[in-house]
Amino acid sequence: MGKTWKSLKIAAGFFCAIALTQFLGANSSAQAADTVVARFGLFTESVSLAELQKAAESGEFPASLQPYTNSLSQEQRRSLLGALRMRIPLNIVTISRLANTQIGTSILNDIATAVARKDKAGLQALRAALVLGSTAPQGLSVLSFIAAYPSQRLEIDVPQAFRIVGNLNTAFWRTQQFMLAIAPQLDPTKKPQISLPFDPSQPGTAQVQILKLNWNDQKRTRNVPVDIYWSNAATADKPIIVYSHGLGSVRTDLHYLAEHLASHGYIFVALEHVGSNGANIDSAITGKNRLMKPQEFLDRPQDVSFVLDELEKLNQIADNPLQGKLATNNVMVIGYSFGGSTALSVAGGELQLEKLKIRCQKKLAILSLGEGIQCIAQELPQNTYQLTDERIKAAIALSPTTSLLFGETGLTKVKVPTLMLASSLDKSTPALTEQILPFDQLPSPKWLVGILGGTHLSVKDPSTTLDQAGQPNTPFTGGELVDQQAVDVRKFVKAITLAFAAQLTSQAKNYAIFLTPDYAQYASTAAFPFRIITQIPPNAKTVVQEFIEK
């Protein structure tokens, strides 16, 4: 995930995702706010911008706020002060180019209901403050936003603000309840007594090579670059593994996993979706193209099918090192994040967009980033799309985006064994809505892997998460556990992925133990308890039902 895409995610997390809003020119001559007024019905409480600035510098709240802040815990006080100090380095040009979407306008309209203005211009005022606040020397911050707000007072209807905030990323908080519910009440210091034949997280003995190709689909006028990881241990008895990356990412996202599987004799094909990769996002930020065209929801699965067609041709070429080794009718697809929905699509999941189109016209301040991306599909002309490729025999979806794309029954049509991974601290694609509820739709055989303490980027190769250093931790983004912090997660992913791929081989029984709850408990660490279930237990179903009813 490139730095520019990360900046977009940070912007989405600031002020309830208002950095995704439509930009209208701000009136630079408007009087800026010097006071924040919190309104509770007929009662108000005021604090000056100067006092807030002093609090940020000194670490002490002003006397006027002490009746409220004294009741907060030390952690809560630190969080509030941290929010005042946080700066986001987004300039006015970047914001104006990023923020020109229908979704953003709807989000701002929701948030504007908590801003009291006699002129009813809350929407325009928020836009102006966002843009002008970004011109501050050290970037956008809560304080620069307030200072740029075009009124002497920034008046907030606190009860309404709480209603809005209470809906923000609700699924993220409910996910924590669910993960606790599926966690067996066992002593974490005691490992289950199971006999393991070997350690699937260890590399194989074969030396890995990488073949880089750049194919062109002339029917769609679309390039599809691929990296093929292979070794001399590869045979047609093992499935091909095809990888689909996330939005704004690259095909090297799971480089460590590709090398691991190739060292065990599997052929791993990492393809790049040029309409939604890092280069496309970079271009969008400079104003050269859209963030993503709706056609990308169809092009991505078609990229997978095209690559399989090309692999069939490659398998027949004489003197090619892969000749006769490519089992193109026995394929396992792996998708990460947005690529997870791609994987589920080619595995049989039907895109069902009727309710998505209705949902994406309503209050959107409650959407996560993952849901917001799915709303781009509302521009597609049809309501249903079936993009199944019968050559797919198994699917792994790592933190996929699924909540809106597949409607109520789209995932019931998945035709192959499926493993879905969910991380409890994933803010981008909250597990409850994006993985757990969809998992309940999937037909068996299926596995849900829970990473307690894992974040959205924890499964990615360290080489693609270097931009995380120094990123602010917001309710929507940041706080990612990557690189050395997530070694345990990547080790576990290597083990379960190898075991899942082996289910398509004659070695299936030897690897089955690694797809069980006992193995997940055995592999758990203090930082990351792991869980594997094949159906949602009754106590966890209660959490799911409560979320649906609310």
Share of the chain above pLDDT 70, in %: 76
Lowest-confidence pick of 213-227, 361-375, 501-515: 361-375
Instruction: Give me the percent of the chain exceeding a pLDDT of 90.
Output: 49
Of the two residues 217 and 15, the one the predictor is more confident about is 217
Q: Is the pLDDT of residue 32 over 70?
A: no
> In the chain, helix, strand, coil percent, each to 5?
40, 15, 40
Q: What pLDDT does residue 494 have?
A: 98
Of the ranges 105-109, 150-154, 289-293, which one carries the lowest mean pLDDT score?
Answer: 105-109
Lookup: tokens for 433? 């809505």
Cis peptide bond prior to 381, omega within 30° of 0: no
Asked if pLDDT for residue 41 goes beyond 50, the answer is yes
Q: What is residue 118's predicted lDDT score, i.e. its pLDDT?
A: 72
Q: What is the pLDDT of residue 27?
A: 34
pLDDT of residue 183: 62
Give the C-alpha separation, 63 to 240, whole Å.
65
Q: In angstroms, what CA-CA distances link 437 with 140, 378, 440?
A: 36, 21, 5
Encode 410-427 in three state secondary structure: HHHHCCCCEEEEEECCCC
Q: Are the CB atoms for 375 and 360 separated by under 8 Å? A: yes
Task: Report pLDDT digits (tens) over 380-409.
Answer: 999 999 999 999 999 999 999 999 999 999
Of the pLDDT bands very low, low, confident and very high (cuts 50, 70, 90), residue 476 is low
Q: Which of 331, 334, 339, 308 is nearest to 245 (CA)?
A: 339
**pLDDT of amino acid 479:** 79
Q: How far apart are CA 500 and CA 504, in angstroms?
A: 8
C-alpha–C-alpha distance, residues 7 and 12, integer Å: 9
Q: Position of tokens 């307030």?
A: 146
- pLDDT given at position 498: 98
pLDDT score for 20: 28
Judge contact between 271 and 310, C-beta under 8 A: no
Of these ranges, 162-176, 201-215, 421-435, the one predicted with the greatest mean pLDDT is 201-215
* pLDDT value at residue 134: 72
State residue 110's pLDDT score: 63
Q: What is the pLDDT of residue 94?
A: 52
What is the rounded average pLDDT of the residues 265-292?
A: 88
pLDDT of residue 401: 95
Confidence of residue 112 (pLDDT cuts 50, 70, 90): confident
Q: Are 472 and 138 in contact (CB under 8 A)?
A: no
Confidence of residue 19 (pLDDT cuts 50, 70, 90): very low
Q: Determine the average pLDDT of the residues in 243-255.
A: 96
DSSP-derived 3-state class of residue 109: helix
CB 429 within 8 A of CB 386: no
Residue 184 has pLDDT above 60, yes or no: no
Longest dimension (CA), the chain: 83
Is 513 or 89 the better-scoring residue by pLDDT? 513
Nearest to 181 by CA among 438, 549, 545, 548: 545
Residues 246 and 338: beta-carbon distance below 8 Å: yes
Which of the residue ranges 97-111, 294-308, 479-493, 532-546 would you say has the lowest mean pLDDT?
97-111
Q: What domains sit in the chain, N to C, each tagged with a CATH number?
A: 17-167 (no CATH), 209-549 (3.40.50.1820)
Phi-psi domain of 61 (left: phi exceeds 0; alpha: psi -120 through 50; beta: other):
beta
H or E element: which one contains 283? Answer: helix 278-285
pLDDT surpasses 70 at 97:
no
Higher pLDDT, 4 or 369: 369
Closest CA to 211 of 300, 335, 320: 320
* Residue 369 pLDDT level (bands cut at 50, 70, 90): confident
Q: Tell me the two tokens of residue 359.
A: 């949902």
Q: What is the pLDDT of residues 119-153, one digit of tens each?
A: 777 767 777 777 777 777 777 777 887 888 888 87
Ranking 127-136, 170-179, 435-444 by mean pLDDT, the lowest is 170-179
Q: Is the pLDDT of residue 432 over 50?
A: yes
Q: For the chain, give the number of residues.
A: 550
Mean pLDDT of 441-467: 94
The pLDDT of residue 462 is: 95
Residue 390 has φ and ψ, to the nearest 5°, of: -65, -10
- Kind of pairing between the strands at 240-244 and 267-271: parallel
Is 358's pLDDT higher than 80?
yes
Q: How confident is the model at residue 229 (pLDDT cuts 50, 70, 90)?
A: very high
Q: How confident is the model at residue 105 (pLDDT cuts 50, 70, 90)?
A: low
Write down the pLDDT at residue 88.
61
Is a pLDDT exceeding 90 seen at residue 80?
Answer: no
* Most trustworthy range by pLDDT among 20-34, 406-420, 522-536: 406-420
Q: End-to-end distance of the chain based on CA atoms, in angstroms?
A: 34
pLDDT at 533 exceeding the cut of 80:
yes
What phi and psi values does residue 428 have, to the nearest 5 degrees? -75, -45
Secondary structure (3-state) at 268: strand
The overall average pLDDT reported for the chain is 82
Confidence band of 17 (pLDDT split at 50, 70, 90): very low
Residue 390 CA to residue 410 CA, distance in Å, equals 17
Q: Quick one: which of 208, 336, 207, 345 has its CA closest to 272? A: 336
Helix axes 296-314, 338-346, angle to 10 degrees: 60
Report the pLDDT value the prediction gives residue 148, as an integer from 0 to 100. 81
Q: Which residues contact 180 (CB under 8 A, 6 or more apart)?
A: none
The whole-number pLDDT of residue 152 equals 80
Q: What is the distance between the alpha carbons of residues 455 and 430, in angstroms, rounded to a whole number? A: 10
- Split at pLDDT 50, 70, 90, the class of 379 is very high
d(CA 116, CA 444): 52
Amino acid at 283: S
| DSSP states of 457-507 | TTTS-GGG-GGGTT----SSS-----GGGGHHHHHHHHHHHHHHHHTTSTT
> Which are the contacts of 251, defined by CB distance < 8 A and separation ≥ 6?
225, 226, 227, 243, 245, 270, 271, 272, 277
Question: Which has more confidence, 228 or 97?
Answer: 228
